[in-house]
Amino acid sequence: MKPVIYGLAGQQLSADERAFFKDADPLGYILFKRNCGSRDQMRALTDSLRDLSGRSDVPILIDQEGGRVARMQPPEWPAFPAPGAFDTLYDVAPVSAIEAARANAHALALMLAEVGVTVNALPLLDVVRPETSDVIGDRALGGEPMRVAALGKAVLEGLRRGGVIGIVKHMPGHGRGKVDSHKELPVVDASAEELAIDIAPFAALADAPMGMTAHVVFTAWDKERPATLSPTVIGEVIRTRIGFDGLLMTDDIDMKALSGTAGEKAAAAVAAGCDVALDCWARMDEMVEIAERLDDAGPETLARLERALASVTNGAEEADFAELIAKRDALLAVG
């Protein structure tokens, strides 16, 4: 099994993709809007990925946050509020905000599970600040670390109740990034003492099953390399100071914050300590290069994957989608 998660080009696997994925055996797959046409189509697609991998629990990811980040869209699927809505509610009714976030995530998970998606790239635990890039904005859960942790925990629990694994992101924090890492490399000059605020939510939820790195340079820890490519940040900050021992994946390696070929970036990230490289854009030449550059996943990565998958085993709870939505909306109306 190669330690990489690949994107797909369309709504069905092409013959080339089928042959390549069968040979490369990636750890998992990620879906985007281009892959999401209808319920029946998505279920057929995810079933084909399970059949191809020979793993009934192969991770199939999506970014279904709500608000502006939603791959499954109306009219086929309902719109969900941006995560920032729960931060706003927290100002007036903290307990209601936590319950609303949990119900919302549970409903999201039921929607994803229906079409065979097993992992959602949520919640963001980035602590927002006045200078935070708009790329984060209302995708975040607030600017106070323990509020972010409390809401993030509710999101993880709601997803788990629906049988879906959550991913905490973007470790060790994107809140001080002033530019969009999709377009350029953010550099954060805050001191290690100041960065304690940023890592606090991740430390509070260090037992999360999966995590995603930030393509951000933190000069207090590593002046040269972004967190995704830094053995220091991954080993000393994420694994040790935060205490995270879940499955750690990169953010999309195609983002312009990183330089080099796809294979070079994937190999550097894994060498730095990431368990898995995330390659989203389904470009066959780049996927082949990545597969050629990466060794098979090691025992630590496989053990973390097994623990992550086990975190939702027998964890799903019977629930009614419409009732969860109604509960969420009634709670949000309080604010």
Helical pair 321-332 and 94-114, crossing angle rounded to 10 deg: 150
Write out the DSSP string of 131-179.
T--TTTGGGS--SSHHHHHHHHHHHHHHHHHTT-EEEEEEET--TT--S
Mean pLDDT of 292-321: 92
| One-character DSSP codes across 223-270 | SSS-GGG-HHIIIIIIIIIS---SEEEEEETTSTTS-S-HHHHHHHHH
Answer yes or no: are the C-beta atoms of 281 and 265 closer than 8 Å. Answer: no
Contact 92, 85 (CB under 8 A): no
What six digits make up the tokens of 30? 């990620």
Share the mean pLDDT of the chain.
Answer: 96
Asked whether 13 and 83 are in contact (CB, 8 A), the reply is no
Query: What number of other Cβ atoms are within 10 A of residue 142's Cβ?
Result: 25
Angle at CA of residue 294, ends 289 and 298, nearest 5°? 160
The yes-or-no verdict on residue 48 having pLDDT over 80 is yes
Q: Say what the pLDDT of residue 314 is.
A: 67
Q: Could you tell me which of 172, 169, 88, 159 has the C-alpha nearest to residue 136?
A: 169
User: Given this model, what pLDDT does residue 215 score?
Assistant: 96
- pTM of the prediction? 0.96
> For the chain, what is the domain count?
1
pLDDT in tens, 69-116: 999 999 999 999 999 999 999 999 999 999 999 999 999 999 999 999
pLDDT at 256: 87
Read off the pLDDT of each residue in 57-69 and give the average, rounded to a whole number: 97
Q: What percent of the chain has pLDDT over 90?
A: 93
Query: Tell me: the pLDDT tens digits for 129-175?
Result: 988 888 999 999 999 999 999 999 999 999 999 999 999 999 999 99
pLDDT for 262 beyond 70: yes
CA 282 to chain CA centroid, nearest Å: 18
Give the per-residue pLDDT at 315.
63
CA dist 239 and 233 (Å) reads 8
Average pLDDT over residues 55-59: 97
For residue 36, what are the CA distances in angstroms to 9, 76, 204?
11, 9, 34
Rounded Cα gap, residues 177 and 158, in angstroms: 28
C-alpha span between 208 and 157 (Å, rounded):
10
CA dist 306 and 107 (Å) reads: 25
Q: Which residue type is seen at 59?
A: P
Q: Which has the higher per-residue pLDDT, 16 or 318?
A: 16
Q: Which two tokens stand for residue 193?
A: 């003492």
The three-state secondary structure class of 2 is: strand
Q: Where are the alpha helices (DSSP H) in the chain?
A: 15-24, 39-53, 84-90, 94-114, 145-161, 192-204, 231-232, 262-272, 284-293, 299-310, 321-332
Q: In b/e form, how buried is each residue of 129-141, taking b as 16+ CB within 10 angstroms?
A: beebbeebebbbb
- The residue-averaged pLDDT of 212-219 equals 97
Distance CA 89, CA 96 (A): 7
- Catalytic residue numbers? 182, 251
* Domain of residue 144, residue span: 2-332
Looking up residue 70, the CATH number of its domain turns out to be 3.20.20.300
What does the pLDDT look like over 286-304, one tens digit per residue?
A: 999 999 999 999 999 999 9
Banded pLDDT at 257 (limits 50, 70, 90): confident
Predicted pLDDT at 317: 75
| Mean of pLDDT values over 13-35 | 98
